[in-house]
């Protein structure tokens, strides 16, 4: 085994493992477990811009409309191509929402949290795990970060493609305002 780098697969937490002579590289997500690896829905992965999450009260929630319509079925995880800006701390969560009047409506499921300080300053696919919920008529993938401000927040990658009513923001996750109308990047996985 290489004495310079010993790689471990650790889902979301960096766990220090003291072994003399080794440096550890912790992967945020190298692979889901075998029971959670079927890609069900995703948005384009080419990114040219950023949509902010948590940069002000009005941007605590950011929602991305699903390009291929609705998702109905079990969801065990989602990935979002995000990065930290400056030094944010606190929990980030992911959600799936239904749709009413062309905007997010009812929250269907909620992920386990991811600590913002563990994110990279470069765009990376970050996994949010769900408690094995089944969802019906999910139209919107949503990220929430409450602890941000104009300096310390999260950036969610988007494409340069204009998409009318394809992106919304909210302070409380209930009353929504049209965002920058770009396609945001995400993936949905099922067992």
pLDDT on residue 24: 28
Inter-residue contact 183 to 64 (CB < 8 Å) = yes
pLDDT on residue 39: 85
Torsion angle (degrees, nearest 10) of CA 152, 111, 105, 184: 50
Mean pLDDT of the chain, nearest integer: 79
pLDDT on residue 184: 87
pLDDT on residue 183: 83
Tokens (6 digits) for 45: 């992965």
Smallest Cα–Cα separation from 63: which of 153, 149, 181, 188? 181
pLDDT on residue 117: 98
Strand runs labelled E in 123-173? 124-129, 134-138, 140-145, 153-162, 167-170
> Which run of H or E residues covers position 94?
strand 91-100
Low-confidence ranges of the chain (pLDDT < 70): 1-34, 44-47, 68
pLDDT on residue 56: 92
Inter-residue contact 130 to 33 (CB < 8 Å) = no
Tokens (6 digits) for 100: 């009413």
Tokens (6 digits) for 95: 């959600």
For CATH 2.60.120, the residue range(s) in the chain are 38-190
- DSSP secondary structure code for residue 3 in this structure: S
Residues 6+ apart with CB under 8 A from 98: 104, 105, 106, 108, 137, 138, 139, 140
Indicate the fold that domain 38-190 takes in CATH: Jelly Rolls (2.60.120)
Alpha carbon distance 162, 183 (integer Å): 7
Q: Which residues pair with 51 in a beta bridge?
A: 156
Total number of residues shown for the chain: 191
Alpha carbon distance 148, 90 (integer Å): 8
Alpha carbon distance 23, 45 (integer Å): 32
pLDDT in tens, 59-87: 999 999 887 677 888 888 999 999 999 99
């Amino acid at each position: 085994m290489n004495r310079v780098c010993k790689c471990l697969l650790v889902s979301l937490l960096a766990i220090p493992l003291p072994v003399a002579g080794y440096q550890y590289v912790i992967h945020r997500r190298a692979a889901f477990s075998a029971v959670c690896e079927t890609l069900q829905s995703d948005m384009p992965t080419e990114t040219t811009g950023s949509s902010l999450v948590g940069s002000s009260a009005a941007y605590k929630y950011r929602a991305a409309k699903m390009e291929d319509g609705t998702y109905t079925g079990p969801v065990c995880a989602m990935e979002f191509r995000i990065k930290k800006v400056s030094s944010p701390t606190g929990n980030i969560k992911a959600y799936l929402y239904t749709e009413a009047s062309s905007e997010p409506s009812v929250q269907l499921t909620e992920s386990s949290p991811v600590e913002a300080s563990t994110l990279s300053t470069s765009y990376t696919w970050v996994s949010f795990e769900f408690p094995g919920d089944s969802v019906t008529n999910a139209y919107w993938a949503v990220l929430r970060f409450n602890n941000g401000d104009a300096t310390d927040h999260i950036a969610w990658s988007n494409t340069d493609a204009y998409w009318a009513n394809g992106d919304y923001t909210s302070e409380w996750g209930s009353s929504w305002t049209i965002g920058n109308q770009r396609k945001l990047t995400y993936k949905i996985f099922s067992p």
